Amino acid sequence: MKQYMILPSNNSNDIHLLRIPNDYAGHEAFRHVTGLIAEVEALNPKCEWDEILSHLEAQGYEEMKFILGPSLD
């Protein structure tokens, strides 16, 4: 079964959807992604999304295209 992770943001343009590699369970993927993002930010506090994405992709994560739907609030 394919699993996905939403990286939320208050800015709708900064929301990202990742496909999780098959060898990670949900809670493991959450911790793994948190650690990978922290690694990039520790090396470059002013990093851009492309740098973070490259690091995630090197670990098997894939950014997916999506359409943001209407708010349910």
Count of other CB atoms within 10 angstroms of residue 43: 10
Look at residue 73 and tell me if it is in a domain: no
Number of structural domains in the chain: 1
The pTM of this model reads 0.88
What is the per-residue pLDDT for 14? 94
Look at residue 15 and tell me if it is in a domain: yes
Higher pLDDT, 60 or 27: 60
Look at residue 20 and tell me if it is in a domain: yes
What is the per-residue pLDDT for 67? 95
Look at residue 71 and tell me if it is in a domain: no
Count of other CB atoms within 10 angstroms of residue 33: 20
Residue type for position 10: N
Spatial CB neighbours of 7, under 8 Å, sequence gap ≥ 6:
15, 16, 17, 18, 33
Domain extent at residue 11 = 3-64
**Does residue 73 surpass a pLDDT of 90?**
no
Look at residue 10 and tell me if it is in a domain: yes
Digit-coded pLDDT (tens) for 36-66: 999 999 999 999 999 999 999 999 999 999 9
Look at residue 72 and tell me if it is in a domain: no
| pLDDT band for position 26 (cuts 50, 70, 90) | confident
Look at residue 33 and tell me if it is in a domain: yes
